[in-house]
Amino acid sequence: MAQLLVDRRDVSFVLHEQFAAGELGKYEQFAEVNPKIMDMVVQEARNLAIKELLPTNRTGDEQGCSFRDGQVYTPEGFQRAWQLLVDGEWIALDCSPEYNGQGMPSIVMQSAWEYLLAANMAFMMAPIMNHGAGKVLEAFGTPEQKETYLRRIYSGDLGATMMITEAEAGSDLAQIQTTAHKNADGTYSLSGSKIYISQGDTDLTENIVHLVLARIEGAPEGTRGLSLFLVPKYHIRPDGSAGERNDVVCTGIEEKMGIHGSATCSMALGSKGECLGTLIGQENKGLSIMFHMMNDARLMVGSIGLANASSSYLYALDYARARRQGNMVDDRDSKYVPIIAHPDVRRMLMHMKMFVEGMRSLHYYIALCKDYRTLAEKDGDKEKYQDLIDILIPVAKGYVTDRSIDICNLGIQVYGGYGYTKEYPVEQLLRDVRITTIYEGTNGIQANDLLGRKLFIKDGNLPERLTAEILEVVDKARKYPDLEALAHKLASLVDTWQVVAGQVKQDIGNGQVQNAFVHAYAFMDITGDMVMAWMLLWRACTALDKMNGEGKKKDLKFYRGQLKSAENFIGTVIPVTFGKANSILEKCGAAIEIEDEEFGAK
């Protein structure tokens, strides 16, 4: 039987062989989480995803959410799916047991949630919002806020949202106009409107907790004057039940290209002058609080891209093995061969395979860094893992979601005309995944963050952290005759990347800022290519270790597949990467120098 959504063997390979996640069990915090427990969690997530969430995916796409009489209604089957998610305690898998979390390692949640995200991305927007809002409250909430809301957010008894975007303040949060007036009792009265709020209203839960970014009256202009507030849909009584309705309402939902099962809401706060909320953290520190959770949010968006790409690849692979069409290019007498036999289809499948595998390893690696950062006893170790997370996040979000769209696009191409129809699932995957390059900061913002911030912070040490880790794998790969040439090419790319990074930093230092930033996206691309080559070469080393050691014969083809992924990526993608690097070093400034009128069409 063909696999759906995620390759079980590959998840096991990354979790236990490449990253040896079972080693986490040696630490007291994860003492009860052995490899067997990890596998049980992932298997249960797979069962839930395939049996319960996946059947609601097409329904959600076809029915969409509806907005009637001021209330959002989710598609058929979503309420049952939510209850199963709540009953299984999946929302807070990696969160503190003190607040109804399961206390699992982040890498276990990453592997389990990959199945859930691949099954129904639109539905999973709701638990994503709960998880993100809960993390903010866990870090910055008052004891009263935690007691009243946090446990219920993690359990799924309450819904949650993040209210940030406004009509005149998309990526530029300095323009936020929602205001907050401090009351005598310490609460705040909020007034304003927000747009594009995922799960701003829903029928999955009776009550919803909104985290709202707003400006207190008299606060400084720009982002320095933003604060974060907790605003419930219904005020909560001392006994925990829902009390009076707060003055925060959904005024409509968007018709979108994809994720029809997720309500994207316009919200009004204080239209009657009665919207009350409480401050989270300190006044005027709202943006720093938001940035605290931004890494997790961006990593989650990248994981959505990975999950959709994985699903598209497995659907395309299964179809290519079953669909018979044409003859072999070198044997005109052959007829009706499976299309996987055709060179161009193999090219597309190989492209999909290597990127999905590399992206999976990257996301699991970052999750593992989060775990070791938490466990580290020395400040230096904590800093090391945080540095790696920080420099890899733009790649894990920006580069990965770009490649995910490419992969989902290829999924349609493998199917041919059938892929363009609604009869098969791959067209929906492409429509749904498209939003990931926009969510949580557009990919252009990710590129700017990598070039303009991550290259400079901490005295510019983050690039050295990254290249040191890559070269460690390169050194290991050089010990294998089969990988020596691949290791040499990756080492050469690391050298080139360092030259490009140095040139970009020099240009910015010399005042050539706009010309440097016009190449930011290309820089993110070559960084992503370098990281993918690193992950795939690491996989190849692991596979060879297993082939030469205790690896089982039944796994030999899987391990050989890892070698082919690394070989194909480094042999076909990396030569193009050097061209991208050269294009940055050329410092072409035409896109900056062209005058507005010279774009034409005026």
Structure tokens at 19: 């990253």
Q: How far is CA 194 from CA 57, 212, 219, in A?
A: 27, 9, 20
CB–CB of 213/176 below 8 Å?
yes
Q: What angle do CA 185, 191, 194 make, to 5 degrees?
A: 130
Residue 17 known to be catalytic: no
Q: Please state, as a whole number, how many other Cβ atoms lie within 10 Å of the Cβ of residue 256.
A: 18
Question: CA 570 to CA 562: how far, in whole Å?
Answer: 12
In DSSP terms, 163 is beta-bridged to 212
CA 323, 324, 328: angle at the middle one, nearest 5? 130
Q: Do residues 207 and 271 touch, judged by C-beta distance below 8 A?
A: no
Of 204, 203, 194, nearest to 68 by C-alpha is 203
Parallel, antiparallel, or unpaired for β 188-198 and 159-163?
unpaired
| CA–CA dist 262, 255 (Å, integer) | 10
- Dihedrals phi, psi of 323, to nearest 5 degrees: -75, 125
3-state SS class at 148? helix
Q: Compute the distance between CA of residue 235 and CA of residue 239 in angstroms, rounded to an integer.
A: 11
Return the half-sphere exposure (C-beta side, CA atoms, 13 A cut-off) of residue 303.
27
3-state secondary structure of 29: helix
Region class of 323: left (phi > 0), else alpha (psi between -120 and 50), else beta: beta
CA 45 – CA 39 distance, rounded (Å): 10
Give the C-alpha separation, 48 to 36, whole Å.
Answer: 18
Active-site pick, 138, 166, 440, 469: 440
The whole-angstrom separation of Cα 411 and Cα 404 is 10
Residue the block writes with tokens 């270790």: 545
Task: Assess contact for 298 and 443: CB atoms under 8 A.
Answer: no
- For 547-568, give one letter per residue: b (16+ CB within 10 A) or e: beeebeeebeebbebbbbbbbb
Query: Which pair of tokens denotes residue 565?
Result: 């992924």
Instruction: Assess contact for 362 and 266: CB atoms under 8 A.
Output: no
Alpha helices (H) in 323-461, listed in sequence order: 343-375, 379-394, 400-415, 426-433, 443-449, 457-460
Give the three-state DSSP class for 245. strand
DSSP output for 169-233: BSS-GGG---EEEE-TTS-EEEEEEEEEEETSS-SSSS-EEEEEEEEETTPPSGGGGEEEEEEES
Contacts of 574 (CB under 8 A, 6+ apart): 489, 490, 493, 529, 533
Q: Kind of pairing, strands 276-280 and 226-232?
A: antiparallel
Catalytic residues: 440
